[in-house]
Chain A
Amino acid sequence: MAIKDKMENNLTMMKKLLVFTVVMFVFGYAMVPFYEKFCEVAGINNLLQPDTLTQEQETDTARWVTIELDANTRGLPWDFKPLQRSVRVHPGESVEVMYEIINNSEREITGQAIPSYSPRFLDKHLKKFECFCFTRQVLKPKEVRQMPVQFVIEPTLPKEFHTITISYTFFELPVGTPAISEK
C-alpha cells in the first residue's frame, strides 16, 4: 500500500475516534436528564412533588408516633423554625404543622427548602400534600411568613419506629432560578 493511502486511512480512523470521543463527552451530559427521568419513574428521591392520596387511609389508633421537626438555613440571613418542636400522632392521621421564616436582611431573597428525613426510607411512608418546599419562597426585607406542611404518616411505617424526624434546610437561590418543582 502506498504511504499516502496509509496516512489517509490513519486520518479517517482518527476522525472516527474523535467523533466517538465527542459522543462520549455528550453522553456524560446526557446522563443528567436520563438520571432525573430514571429517578422520577422509579420514584427515587421524589421529595419535592406533592403526593395525592390514592385510597382512604385507615388510622392506626393502636400506636403513637412522635414527629420531631427540625429547621436549618445554609448561607442565608433567615430565621427559620417550626412553631412546634414535635407532634404526636397516630399513623394514618392527617397532620398539619406550621413553620416560620423571617428575613433579617435588608434585601429581597429567594430561598428553596430541601427536606431530609430520618429514618432515611421515611419518604416511602410519608405522603405530603402541601409544603413550602414545593415552591421557592421570596421574602422581602424583614418579611415574616408562616407556612404549613400537610402530610400523613402511613400505617405501613414499621412498628419499631416510635420517633421520626422531618428536617428542612433553606438554601439561597440565585436570582432568576426557577424552583425545582417548576422546572
Chain B
Amino acid sequence: MAAVHGDVHGHGHDDHHPTGIMRWVTTTNHKDIGTMYLWFSLAMFFTGGFLAMGIRAELFQPGIQILEPELFNSFTTLHGLIMVFGAIMPAFVGFANWQIPMMVGAPDMAFARMNNWSFWLLIPAALLLISSFFVPGGAAAGGWTFYPPLSTQGGLGVDMMLFAVHILGASSIMGSINIITTVLNMRAPGMTLMKMPLFVWTWLITAYLLVLAMPVLAGVVTMLITDRHFGTSFFNAAGGGDPVLFQHIFWFFGHPEVYIMILPAFGIVSEIIPTFSRKPLFGYSSMVYATASIAILSCIVWAHHMFTSGMPTVGQLFFMYATMLIAVPTGVKVFNWTATMWKGEMTFETPMLFAIGFIFLFVIGGFSGVICAIVPIDIQVQDTYYVIAHFHYVLVSGALFALFGGAYYWLPKWTGHMYDETLGKWHFWLSMIFFNMAFFVQHFLGLAGMPRRIPDYALQFADFNMISSLGAFGFGLTQLLFVYIVIKCIRSKEPAPEKPWDGAKTLEWTHLPTPAPYHSFETPPVVK
C-alpha cells in the first residue's frame, strides 16, 4: 500500500437516525447493513449447522436411527442451500458492506437504499427455506443442486425452495451492482485501482462473477418453475427436453459460484497475513492478476461436475485440463502468502492463526480438487464422501476460517472493544482439531466407496463415520464459543486500542478512529 496522508477525522459527527427496531428496518448506513448481514449469516450458519448435526447424528452408526430417509434427504439438501446462500455468501456481503467504503475512502455504498433492500430480501427467502420443512410433502429433498427430474416432481417444498433461490439471487445481484459501483466510482482521490486493498479487489472481481452467474441461475430456476407449473418441457424428456441440459446450465452458474465463495476469503487472508507479518503483501499485482485469472477460468470448467453424464472424451479432456489450469493462479496466491510471511516479524494472534489455518487446509482442499479434476479418478469418486471431504476443506476451512479470521481482525474496529484473545485461540485450535477429525476421515470413506446423500451405510464404514460424527459434534459446539466471544466483545467495557494491530496499513486503521464512527469519510481522504 502506498503511504497515506490526511487527518484522522470523523469525531463528533451528529447522528440523526431513528432508534429501536426502525433504525434497523429503515437504515441505509453501510455499517448497520453490514452488521445485519453478519448477524443474519451467523443465524443461518447455526440453522445449517443444526441440519449438519442431524446428518452426522444419523450417520453416527449404520442403520436408520433418528431421521427417516426422506427427512434425511431434506436435511442434506437444505444444509447445502442454507450454508451456501444463507451463511457464506451473506457473510461476505456483510464484510463488503462494512469494509469496502472504509477501505476505499467512500462515505457509504453507492446506492444506499438498494443496499437496504438487498438485505431485507434475505429474510423472506430464509423464512421460505426454513418453513418448507413444515408444509405437506416436506422440504426439497433432491440435493442442493436440485437436479430434475427430482426437482420437477416434489411438492410445495420444492416451489418454496425455488422461490427462495430466486429471491436470494436478486438480492445478490443488487448487492454486487452496489459493490461494483462503489469500488469503481467512489474511491478517494489518489486511490488508484492498483492501490486498492486486496480485499476490495477480490470483492470487485467476485461482484462481476455474481452479475455474470446469478442471472443464469435465475434463468434455470425460471425454467424449472415453468416446467413444473406451465407445461414447458425444458428438462422433461417426454416433452423433448433433457435433464442433462439442466446440469449444464446449473453448473455454468455453479462453478463461478464456488469462486464467489472463495475469492473474498482470499481477500481477507491477503489483508491479515501482511498485517501480522509486518511486511507488505508479496507480489501485490500478481495477486490481482491471479484473482482475475481464476475468475475467468472459473467460467469454462463447469462440466467437470458432469464427467459421468455421458460426455464425449474430447469434452472431458477439455474440462479436465481447464480445471487443472486453475491450480496455477491459485498456486501463485499460496506462494505469495508464504513469501509474505517469509522473514516477517510474525505474531500469532487469533486472526493470523485462522489465516494460517486457512492456507494450510485450503491447500489440502485444493489438492483434492485437482485429484477430482482427473477424469478417471472423478468417475470413481463422483458422489462419494471424497467429494464431500474436498468441498468442506475449501468451504469450511477455506471460506469459513477466513470469515472467522476477518471477524477477529475487524471486531475491534467495528465494536470498539477487544475480543478475548485466549478464548479466540481456544476457538481456533478446537475448530482446527474437530474440523480435521470430522472431514479428514471422509477422504478414506469416499475412496472406499461410501456414497454421499445416503442415510445408511455398509458396516465397514462404521468406525470412520463415528470419528467423523464426533468431530462434527465437537466442531458444532465450538462455534457456540464464537458467539460467546463476539457477545463478550460487544458488551466489554474496556475500549480497544486505537490501532490494535501495528502492522495494519489500510485506510480504516490509519485514517479512522476505533470504533469506526457511524459516518466516515464524508470528506474523502487523500491517498498518495
Contact = CB atoms under 8 A, between A and B. Distances in A.
Answer whether A and B are interacting partners: yes
A173 interface: yes
26 contacts: A9-B185, A10-B111, A10-B186, A14-B177, A14-B181, A17-B180, A20-B212, A21-B215, A22-B215, A23-B215, A24-B213, A24-B214, A25-B219, A27-B216, A28-B218, A28-B249, A29-B223, A31-B252, A32-B245, A35-B242, A35-B245, A44-B310, A44-B312, A171-B239, A174-B239, A183-B240
Given A31-B216, A31-B248, A112-B238, 10 more contacts: A13-B180, A14-B181, A20-B211, A24-B216, A27-B219, A28-B249, A29-B223, A112-B239, A114-B238, A177-B240
Contacts of B177: 13-14, 17-18, 21
A interface, size bucket:
20 to 34
B300 to A, nearest CB: 14
Interface string B165-184: 00000000100110011001
A6 interface: yes
Given A17-B211, A18-B177, A114-B238, A28 B220 contact: yes
Interface in B220-234: 220, 223, 231, 233-234
A20 B211 CA distance: 7
What 5 A-B pairs are tightest by C-beta distance, nearest first?
A: A28-B219, A171-B238, A24-B215, A25-B215, A180-B240
A17 B238 CA distance: 38
A25 B211 contact: no
B43 interface: no
Contacts of A159: none
Contact of A6 (B111, B185, B244, B312): B185
A172 B186 CA distance: 58
Interface in B299-347: 310, 312
Nearest to A74: B238
Interface of A: 6, 9-10, 13-14, 17-18, 20-29, 31-32, 35, 42, 44-45, 74, 112, 114, 120, 171-174, 177, 180, 183
B262 to A, nearest CB: 21
Contact of B231 (A10, A120, A174): A174
B150 interface: no
A183 B240 CA distance: 9
B229 to A, nearest CB: 13
A174 B239 CA distance: 8
Interface in B166-211: 173, 176-177, 180-181, 184-186, 211
Contacts of B180: 13, 17
Given A21-B173, A74-B238, A171-B237, A10 B219 contact: no
Contact of A13 (B184, B212, B219, B242): B184
Contacts of B211: 17, 20-21, 24
B381 interface: no
B186 A6 contact: yes
A22 B233 CA distance: 23
B93 interface: no
Given A13-B180, A114-B238, A28 B216 contact: yes
A28 B254 CA distance: 13
B239 A177 contact: yes
A16 to B, nearest CB: 9
Contacts of B238: 74, 112, 114, 171-173
A77 B491 CA distance: 69
A10 B112 CA distance: 12
B312 A42 contact: yes
A10 B216 CA distance: 25
Contacts of A13: 110, 177, 180-181, 184-185
Contacts of B111: 10, 14
Contacts of B223: 28-29, 32
Interface in B100-140: 110-111
Nearest to A43: B312
B430 to A, nearest CB: 42
A10 B239 contact: no
A45 B242 contact: yes
A74 B238 CA distance: 10
Given A114-B238, A172-B238, A35 B218 contact: no
Contacts of B242: 35, 45
A20 B210 CA distance: 11
Contact of B310 (A9, A26, A35, A120): A120
Nearest to B218: A25
A173 to B, nearest CB: 7
A44 B303 CA distance: 15
B148 to A, nearest CB: 14
B520 to A, nearest CB: 17
A32 B240 CA distance: 12
Nearest to B314: A42
Contacts of A14: 110-111, 177, 181
Nearest to A181: B240
Given A22-B215, A42-B312, A10 B181 contact: yes
A114 B218 CA distance: 29
Contacts of A173: 238-239
B24 to A, nearest CB: 25
